[in-house]
Structure 1
């Protein structure tokens, strides 16, 4: 499997291109602010054919290039319905501090073809299957995308739910700490070798985070969730 990733925009949100190999169809995950040109370069370099854009959540640093990318390649975008409003109004998710910093937020070009994601959905695109898990906490519509590799491994596109050594903030509009704890708790049974591709920062694994991430170690016992 070919996995290409790069940070984009002032907030350095990770954008990923995933395909079964060079010269194959691909998906683009979280093309955020200033990601359109790097996506185009990677598509040309590896002779890829984008067939869809997957959005882990609706924050502008993860979605702002979704409109231009889908328009250029004639493909749809998928997002959870709880975060769909952010495609039209990026500033809606910034909160008071963010609005003071960014104003009303960067202007958005909304994809022409936006499709809803659902918890438990099996999404087949670009010759690959992605398992969708609703993971609210960072935003109400955050999702995880799980996928197997041709080599037998597992990938987890975690967005801003889980980072290397940290988790996404829960104090912005739509965030909820209790929901985040539930979403994180659902990750604990995954195999240690599962490779986590986060929304910011370096790649990690579930085993590494289970052993060292303080936010996972401090989770309540499973029975504590009502």
Structure 2
């Protein structure tokens, strides 16, 4: 499986592209600010066509380009219903802090929006993706899990959005955030995963469940149980 990405916009939000080797189809995850042009360029060079955009949550730095990308390729966006309102009214999810950056820009939902639920198993572009609802950073945050076959064997992957980072966790001081709920989500949905699970966060570099379990200061005292 091809798993690649690039940091986009002022927020340096990781936009990911997932595709099976030899496939002409792919999945896009979290196309943020200024992501459309580099994404379209990469897809063209790679002869890939997206079949869906998956959103780990509704914050504008992750959804800024979702509507233009979906409309260009005629594909749906997937988001948890608790965050769907932010697609058309992003300031409700961030407060007034971003109003100057947004200016007169108008945001709207893509033509087709599909709502995600905890435990959903999606089959898109030949890739199986499991959805874990992980409220705390936002009420509609999700983790997207899949498995990549490599020369060393299958590697589980978790795209964690802003729930878990390398050495840190998501902020909870924006509307809908809840610190205790976030820790509970991490314990219930991430710390139960295999240590070998690769963690691809919404910002910053990749890590692993083993690394975060061992050294993330925010996870001290947490243990996983489903």
TM-score, normalised relative to structure 2: 0.93
Change beyond 3 A, Cα 1:218–1:29: same
Report the counterpart of residue 196 of structure 1 in structure 2: 199
The runs of 4+ residues in structure 1 deviating greater than 4 Å are 103-106
Instruction: Kindly report which structure 2 residues correspond to 1:4-83, keeping only aligned pairs within 5 A, or say none.
Output: 4-83=4-83
Report the counterpart of residue 170 of structure 1 in structure 2: 172
Deviation at 1:190, TM superposition (A): 1.0
> Does 2:217 align with 1:214?
yes
Matched residue SS, 1:149: strand
Matched residue SS, 1:31: coil
Distance in 1 (CA, whole Å) between partners of 2:65 and 2:22 is 23
Structure 1 portions without partners, runs of 5+? none
Count of residues in Structure 1 that have an aligned counterpart in Structure 2: 221
Matched residue SS, 2:33: coil
Q: Would you say the 8 A contact 2:191–2:224 is kept in 1?
A: no
> Does 2:162 align with 1:160?
yes
Distance in 2 (CA, whole Å) between partners of 1:92 and 1:112 is 21
Q: Would you say the 8 A contact 1:156–1:194 is kept in 2?
A: yes
CA RMSD of aligned residues (A): 1.7
Q: Would you say the 8 A contact 2:192–2:224 is kept in 1?
A: no
Distance in 1 (CA, whole Å) between partners of 2:87 and 2:147 is 29
Distance in 2 (CA, whole Å) between partners of 1:72 and 1:157 is 24
TM-score, normalised relative to structure 1: 0.93
Distance in 2 (CA, whole Å) between partners of 1:90 and 1:8 is 18
Distance in 2 (CA, whole Å) between partners of 1:57 and 1:105 is 23
Deviation at 1:192, TM superposition (A): 1.1
